[in-house]
Structure 1
Amino acid sequence: MNAPATPSLLCYCRTGFEPELAAELTDHAAEAGLSGYARANRDDGFVLFHATEPDAPLSQAMPWRSLVFARQKMRLIADLAELDPSDRVSPVMEALGGQGRFGDLWMEHPDSDAGKPLSGLARAFGNALRPALRKRGFLTDAVDANRPRLHVCLLAGNHLLLGRSDPNDSAGWPQGIPRLRLHADAPSRSALKLEEALLALLTPRERETLLKPGMRAADLGAAPGGWTWVLTRQHMYVSAIDNGPLQPALHDTGLVDHQRADGFRWQPDRTLDWMVCDMVEQPRRVAERMATWFREGWCRHAIFNLKLPMKKRWQEARSSLDLFAEQADGLATLRARQLYHDREEITVFASAPPR
């Protein structure tokens, strides 16, 4: 058993973006005055970050909602390697000594080519581990959302990681992935990106108060209408801005005004509740235009995507977000994340201060 000698974080990410997540965690630690180092291998689907000081407040320095490239964040309990496949339960029990009681168990594996074949083993091991944990008092009989979660991440048949997450400071889905299905009526798969953004970037309270029937929104670069469709399902009135065509059924809702115009030039004649944008353009140009919307008071809330280059993606993401925040001239909320349904991009949620 290898329990970390100093505080350590385990974070999941999209495969191929391990260097970006490692750089992000390193920057966050440095800004908090903490020293540490990341362990990351491309295409592993996860990153470990280890502090070098025994009492470093590592998790507090990296709040879940401040992270861009992490799908999930948890404190590492133990790295259990070279396990005997005939008895994986005993080493887990030994590692959990002194860890208290958990309110749920999530059996996981990296979302990677190497990790996906382990899904069957993860389920089988979970069926054996769950009653053993309850018998020893490590796991509540029923799910308790007020207690920490226990994560068991299988890396191989003889290698697993144990993690501990705070339900208030982590993603609310196993592997950090909300399982969404594309609706048969959706004009395009891009609808899943906005649906996930509303789940992942807004709190339940924000979804309740900021998404109301009758609100007015603009979708910049709307065609063929995936994001417009999501907004109409919230019963919003949508100005869909694009020179291209929309799915005809959107016009039948009575909620969509299709305006054939350039999304980078169009502006509303009054303040809108929402603006969304998924245009393919340089991230800094998008950030500048989005900032104009807030600076001029054209919208109260926005969700938009920033397409990233092939190299130095964390640096580009950070500089674009900094540029947006600086030019927006005051924001109440700014969050960004690379969602499961994103690819070479990140999704941003921003809100203006109340007026």
Structure 2
Amino acid sequence: MEDARANGLLCYCRPGFEPELAAELGERAANAGDAGWARAERNTGFVQFFTGQGHALAQALPLRDLIFARQKLRLLAELRGLDAKDRITPIIAALFERAAFGDLVVEHPDSDEARPLAGLARSFGNALRPALRKAGLLTPTVDADQPRLHVCFLTGDHALLATGHPRDASPWPAGIPRLRTPPDAPSRSALKLDEALLVLLTPDERARWLQPGMRAADLGAAPGGWTWVLARNGLHVTAIDNGPLREHVLDTGLVEHLRADGFRWSPAKPLDWMVCDMVESPKRVASRMAEWFREGWCRHAIFNLKLPMKKRWDETRDCLALFEAQSQRPLRIRAKQLYHDREEITVFAMVAPH
């Protein structure tokens, strides 16, 4: 069995986007003055990034700034050759003399190959938790202010130990918020906007910026999934699409449907929100979104950029730079590839306060 102390990061991502995450980590690390290197294999759902700066790199690459990472953890150890009869002893040995963690998460990457490990993760977590407490490595009750211990099974005898700080790690196992499609949602795409509001905005921001009576536009609205989410939050929505909306979306009394082109229509007066999930080239969408901010047509926006099959990190970086430059005003921008996204990223932007 091997206990290799690791000095780096463990990040989870959408399977198939490991090269994009590795490229993003490498570029951001280089910009922070650290020439780290990535270990990534396509369709595994995770990337390891090693560095000579350790904790300093973790601080220089906060999760909120990473686009392709669902979760970001600090690597502690890699354990190979674990005996199925006793996986607990080597884990405790690898954590020797560490301060007590506030919680334990036993998980696996979100990949087809690792998904059968779900049962092991559940049962092993139940066995490991009391053993860690007995060894003084886990607080008697959950302490949300302390770093969490993550045990990530790659196979039944191969695990990564990592830690996540509550202020710089996703609160959800594997970084995935488990949302269910409401029975009256017009389409599954409603989950994309629900997740964007949950992940890209803080609870305080949602309370302040999504208030009943605010006004919004949904560009490319049909069949009405994103419009429905906004109306459910009490916003008055102008839904722009030449296609039809589901009847019950219009029945809310908060929605006006205009049969128009989302790339041409503009509001008569500024709106609180604009959202857009149109299927179009990412640079064209980014340019159109910039026009909305340049002209002062909205204060906040959430939109998706559909990525090409190749050079997706380059396209992401270029589109965000184009959007920021063409808006011609200071913006706050957050971007993430969400769990409910596919070949796309979701962007939140707002006019930066003076």
TM-score range, shorter chain: over 0.9
Contact 2:20/2:312, CA 8 A, preserved across alignment? yes
Measured in 2, the distance between the counterparts of 1:98 and 1:298 equals 57
**TM-score under structure 2 normalisation?**
0.98
Contact 2:105/2:173, CA 8 A, preserved across alignment? yes
Relative distance call for 1:128 and 1:227 in structure 2 (3 A) is: same
2:141 is paired with a residue whose SS is coil
Q: Which residue of 1 aligns with 2:145?
A: 146
Q: Which residue of 2 aligns with 1:60?
A: 59
Q: Which residue of 1 aligns with 2:38?
A: 38
Contact 2:15/2:44, CA 8 A, preserved across alignment? yes
Q: 2:78 matched to 1:79?
A: yes
Percent of pairs with identical residues: 65
- The runs of 5 or more residues in structure 1 that have no matched partner are none
Measured in 2, the distance between the counterparts of 1:95 and 1:180 equals 35
Deviation at 1:137, TM superposition (A): 1.4
Deviation at 1:328, TM superposition (A): 1.4
Q: Which residue of 2 aligns with 1:21?
A: 21
Measured in 2, the distance between the counterparts of 1:308 and 1:233 equals 29
Measured in 2, the distance between the counterparts of 1:104 and 1:62 equals 23
Contact 1:218/1:275, CA 8 A, preserved across alignment? yes
Report how many residues are paired.
353
Q: Give, as a single letter, the amino acid of the residue that structure 2 aligns with 1:207.
A: R
- Deviation beyond 6 Å, 4+ runs, structure 1: none
1:316 is paired with a residue whose SS is helix
Render the CA deviation track for 1:100-153: whole Å, top value 9, x for unaligned: 111111111010011100000111111110000111111112221100011111
Measured in 2, the distance between the counterparts of 1:93 and 1:332 equals 47
Q: Which residue of 2 aligns with 1:11?
A: 11
Q: Give, as a single letter, the amino acid of the residue that structure 2 aligns with 1:299.
A: C
Q: Give, as a single letter, the amino acid of the residue that structure 2 aligns with 1:2.
A: D
Q: Which residue of 2 aligns with 1:48?
A: 48
Measured in 2, the distance between the counterparts of 1:296 and 1:54 equals 44
Residues 1-355 of structure 1 aligned to structure 2 (within 5 Å):
1-4=2-5, 7-51=7-51, 53-54=52-53, 57-354=56-353
Relative distance call for 1:54 and 1:258 in structure 2 (3 A) is: closer
Measured in 2, the distance between the counterparts of 1:208 and 1:201 equals 13
Render the CA deviation track for 1:207-265: whole Å, top value 9, x for unaligned: 12111111100000000000000001100000000000000011111100100000011
Measured in 2, the distance between the counterparts of 1:90 and 1:330 equals 56
Measured in 2, the distance between the counterparts of 1:134 and 1:211 equals 42
1:57 is paired with a residue whose SS is helix
Contact 1:220/1:276, CA 8 A, preserved across alignment? yes
Contact 1:275/1:302, CA 8 A, preserved across alignment? yes
2:166 is paired with a residue whose SS is coil
Q: Give, as a single letter, the amino acid of the residue that structure 2 aligns with 1:233.
A: R
Contact 2:8/2:54, CA 8 A, preserved across alignment? no
Measured in 2, the distance between the counterparts of 1:221 and 1:238 equals 12
Measured in 2, the distance between the counterparts of 1:197 and 1:56 equals 29
CA RMSD in angstroms, aligned pairs only: 1.1
Measured in 2, the distance between the counterparts of 1:329 and 1:4 equals 47
Deviation at 1:17, TM superposition (A): 0.4
Contact 1:215/1:273, CA 8 A, preserved across alignment? yes
Deviation at 1:54, TM superposition (A): 4.9
Measured in 2, the distance between the counterparts of 1:354 and 1:258 equals 31
1:117 is paired with a residue whose SS is helix
Q: Give, as a single letter, the amino acid of the residue that structure 1 aligns with 2:104.
A: L
Contact 1:34/1:56, CA 8 A, preserved across alignment? no
Contact 1:197/1:347, CA 8 A, preserved across alignment? yes
1:153 is paired with a residue whose SS is strand
